[in-house]
Chain A
């Protein structure tokens, strides 16, 4: 069964990276401050459209991530809005010093696009797979992190990143995501803002707070739970940093148990941020769906999701456990 099928979600119409590329091009047509800086991966990240249509505002800086980030800071300091496109497994570890100094400490208006994040590179293997990008970017004050859950959220995330003054990391993937947000009448509205989240489904028994690919999976899990009479609230945590603390605290108070779900290490990502917010305000049972302190192997995406317990069945099981633990704190 494909992700989102049980929840009745339509398949995606385009890959996330293509959704990013279209959104970037649309934003750049309207705003001449936007420039694209490429680490020689535009044919993979979705930035090729910029290169073709607006070549004067596209710069391939080559396979040199430290310089790539430094050049972007120079453009940002002079009033431009650079979008830096690369794979997070290359960009973040290579240029962390430059991101910290020239972008985060300086507080400059640089946007990062991390394509092929999470497990979406699948068969490329562990060196290409970024399962720690949220932790790395999250380690830098002033940075915001947006993790879109489908192509519509990606389009909205690019707009939100442009509207936000300051450094933003957008997590993107290689593949298609099921349509969490419909464009057709009756589809869910997709609001994306730095610090915001979206309520996709309401219920009193447990909350599943997910991001990215795992949001569609969370809706599948909610459908499974509903078959058992368990009504789950599902939150799409598009803004992983800053997290929508009000929504998380309300979920703890109103549903009494939470499951966080992300295709990222459980340490340093969405789940950790949720745990902190809940622990500081209204402690309730928490469960964490994510990758457990290990690097992954070359395999199909579906196989990796299964092997590392990132499926709807895993989320549903975690929700049942969290519900059972209520009242025992």
Chain B
């Protein structure tokens, strides 16, 4: 079921990462969205869906035993759609329908199992609670699926995240793994300047969680951390994934004002070029 680090096809995953970033760039340039918040999540999403971490059946999207992936930072919807398409939930050509009338690919995700979207998000801070509810449901129904929740770092400003963190430890939700996309920026600037999170790992530890830190763009490292998390009993686990906002495009990595806008013209072409040539 779960792929060991040794058997991960890193070359194929890196190729998929380039494809996802190009799709995200295209979707957000055409229709708007949050490209840099997507770019920091790409390797996390890929290791989950194509790295053998999640159990799922795209042809049977409501398979009761499927692992649940919950995107709490809903503004990374384009990245989620680009990965779900590659996971087989719908054709890649559907990405052209992003934010279009009559399509299920809303600007922010809406609960719709037929396309693999578990949770409605877009207002931040809500996914971990939904994840805990999914864990309790699995316990009651005696199913052994796991629940993964991807949170943003700025999102951790929300009090509900810590309500859910407290409750998840209280209920010993050991089938719950949170991953934090710690890209160090929120909309208006650097996290530590706008609303300091550190010491982040200590905060989660104090709330009763098993804590690991990893390079969020190193898919082998992420896979190892998620493997360790699965072995933990009696407490929920968090992987703090250190990432780069705008990862893959040099001028977007250094300019947080690309949070809710995309490059255009010559910059757009430069971005495509950089992504195509990444990790080769």
Q: Which A residues lie at the B interface, using CB under 8 A?
A: 35, 56-57, 59, 61-62, 64, 66-67, 69-80, 82, 97-98, 100-102, 105-108
Known: A70-B130, A74-B131. Is A101-B137 also a contact (CB below 8 A)?
A: no
Q: Which residues from chain A contact B166 at a C-beta distance below 8 Å?
A: 62, 64
Residues B140-159 near A (CB distance < 8 A): 140-141, 159
9 A–B contacts from the bound complex (CB under 8 Å): A61-B167, A66-B163, A67-B164, A71-B130, A73-B129, A74-B134, A78-B137, A98-B160, A101-B120
Q: Which residues from chain A contact B163 at a C-beta distance below 8 Å?
A: 62, 64, 66-67
Q: Which residues from chain B contact A79 at a C-beta distance below 8 Å?
A: 137, 141
- Verify A78–B138 contact, CB threshold 8 A: yes
- Verify B134–A102 contact, CB threshold 8 A: no
The residue on B at minimum CB distance from A95 is B160
Residues B104-136 near A (CB distance < 8 A): 110-111, 118-123, 125-136
Residues of B in contact (CB 8 Å), total 32
- Choose from A61, A73, A80, A97 the contact partner of B130 (Cβ within 8 Å): A73
- The DSSP consensus for interface residues of chain A is helix
Shortest distance from the beta carbon of B265 to any chain A beta carbon, whole Å: 36
- Verify B134–A67 contact, CB threshold 8 A: no
Most buried by B among A35, A77, A80: A77
Q: Which residues from chain A contact B140 at a C-beta distance below 8 Å?
A: 35, 56-57, 80
Q: Which residues from chain B contact A101 at a C-beta distance below 8 Å?
A: 120-123, 126
- Verify B123–A69 contact, CB threshold 8 A: no
Known: A67-B129, A102-B120. Is A59-B159 also a contact (CB below 8 A)?
A: no
Q: Which residues from chain B contact A77 at a C-beta distance below 8 Å?
A: 111, 118-119, 130, 133-134, 137
Q: Which B residues lie at the A interface, using CB under 8 A?
A: 110-111, 118-123, 125-138, 140-141, 159-160, 163-164, 166-167, 170-171
- Verify A71–B129 contact, CB threshold 8 A: yes
- Verify A71–B132 contact, CB threshold 8 A: yes
Most buried by B among A64, A72, A80: A64
Shortest distance from the beta carbon of B77 to any chain A beta carbon, whole Å: 14
Q: Which residues from chain B contact A35 at a C-beta distance below 8 Å?
A: 140
Shortest distance from the beta carbon of B172 to any chain A beta carbon, whole Å: 13
The complex places the Cα of A66 from the Cα of B128 at a distance, in Å, of 11
The residue on B at minimum CB distance from A80 is B137
Q: Which residues from chain A contact B135 at a C-beta distance below 8 Å?
A: 74
Known: A61-B167, A74-B131. Is A67-B137 also a contact (CB below 8 A)?
A: no
Q: Which residues from chain B contact A74 at a C-beta distance below 8 Å?
A: 129-137
Shortest distance from the beta carbon of A73 to any chain B beta carbon, whole Å: 5
Which 8 pairs of residues, A with B, have the shortest CB-CB distance? Answer: A74-B133, A70-B129, A78-B137, A67-B163, A64-B163, A71-B133, A66-B160, A106-B111
Q: Which residues from chain A contact B126 at a C-beta distance below 8 Å?
A: 66, 70, 97-98, 101-102
Most buried by B among A59, A71, A76, A100: A71
- Choose from A57, A66, A76 the contact partner of B159 (Cβ within 8 Å): A66
Known: A61-B167, A62-B167, A67-B167. Is A78-B123 also a contact (CB below 8 A)?
A: no
